[in-house]
Amino acid sequence: MNLSSDQQIRAWFGGAKRILMVTGAGFSTGSGISDYRSPGGIWERYQPVPIQKFFVSHEARMRYWQYKVETREEFAGAAPNAAHRSLVELQSDGRLLGVLTQNVDGLHQKAGISEERVIEFHGSNARVGCLDCGEEAGWDHALKQWESENRPPTCHACGGWLKPRTISFGQEIPISWMERASQWARSCDFCVVVGTSLSVAPASEYPRLAHQMGARVLILNRTPISGVQWADRIVFGEAEERLPRWIRDSVSGPD
């Protein structure tokens, strides 16, 4: 029997027992958060600041905090969209193995995905901490310093530089995160990649590992991606439109 693309994808979702989600910026654009690499995205408006420059350059720290302050409202006011909520259905159904995300917005957890099922490869924008002593410092403390003294905020405990708990270029990703991600990729039977160009390691490595281990791989993205001919299916579209329908139909059957 010849199945349409949507029918085939629903069948893959319906038959999968261990689903690994890999999500990127395109997963959260429906929540009002700008993506990074598309025209008009964050990296077109702000140049990333590597961690090495953050440590040694006052100008780089000022530029970094200017970007964080200007995008803070966008992140703080964002709510999970239909794509985020649809993953909760997979979790409730006992079929969500885990979520590997490049997003720092925390929307997967806000939607109801448990912390132990989410690996935030690029860290979290929800918290601020000291790069020297590790002390947590709330956004309120950091913003008060920035606004009243017009300088990058420092730790109240040791005076070290404060920075959101995101992973900047040059910062190391904990080995334990990569080990758990590798375990998920090796044991999943269906890997679904949504809203990412798969151009940044290490998150980009796990869908291919899943494929090599025998899992089906589906990619859903707004724009074309190069170098992924090994994927079983590539679909172009918006995460919040396509994904909830596929998941809903795989759980309850099509309307």
**68-to-58, 160, 163, 217 alpha-carbon distances in Å:** 15, 18, 9, 34
Q: Is the peptide bond before 202 cis (omega within 30 degrees of 0)?
A: yes
What's the CA gap between 255 and 223, in Å, rounded? 28
Position 250, amino acid: S
Answer for the pair 227, 208: CB distance below 8 angstroms, yes or no. Answer: no
Which helix or strand (DSSP H or E) is residue 216 part of? strand 216-221
Task: Return the amino acid letter for 61.
Answer: R
Select which of 84, 122, 141, 211 is catalytic: 122
Indicate if 122 belongs to the active site: yes
* Residues forming the active site: 122
